[in-house]
Amino acid sequence: METAWIVVLALLTCGYFALAGFDYGVGLLLRVLARDERERRHVLGAVTPFLLGNEVWLVAAVGVLFGAFPRLEGELLSGHHTAFAVLLVGLVAFTAAAQLRSPAWDVVLVGSALVVAVGWGVLLGRVLGGPVVLWAAGVPLLFALHGAVFLAWRLRDGPRRRAVRVAAGLVPPVAGFAVAAVPLAGPVPAPGYGLVAGVAVPLLGGAWLALRSGRHRVAFGCTALVSALPVVAVFGARDVVGVAAMAGPGTLRPLGWAALVVLPLVLLFQWTTWWVRRVPR
Q: Shortest CA distance to 233 belongs to which of 194, 203, 207, 176?
A: 194
Q: What is the pLDDT of residue 17?
A: 96
Q: Shortest CA distance to 164 belongs to which of 206, 199, 201, 210?
A: 210
Q: What is the pLDDT of residue 210?
A: 96
- Is there a contact between 5 and 68 (Cβ–Cβ < 8 Å)? yes
Please give the chain's pLDDT, 281 residues, in tens: 566 777 888 889 999 999 999 999 999 999 899 888 888 888 998 998 888 888 888 888 888 777 777 666 666 666 677 888 889 999 999 989 988 877 778 899 999 999 999 999 998 888 777 788 999 999 999 999 999 999 999 998 888 999 999 999 999 999 999 888 765 444 444 444 555 767 899 999 999 999 999 999 999 999 999 999 988 887 766 555 554 555 555 556 666 666 777 788 878 878 888 887 777 55
Q: What is the pLDDT of residue 202?
A: 93
Boundaries of every domain in the chain: 2-276
The 8-class DSSP code of residue 105 comes to G
Output the pTM of the full model.
Answer: 0.88
Can you name the CATH fold of 2-276?
Answer: Formate dehydrogenase/DMSO reductase fold (1.20.1630)
Rounded-to-integer distance, Cα 157 and Cα 179, Å: 34
Q: Chain centroid to CA 181: how far?
A: 17
The 8-class DSSP code of residue 78 comes to T
Rounded-to-integer distance, Cα 254 and Cα 151, Å: 41
162: left (phi over 0), alpha (psi -120 to 50) or beta: alpha
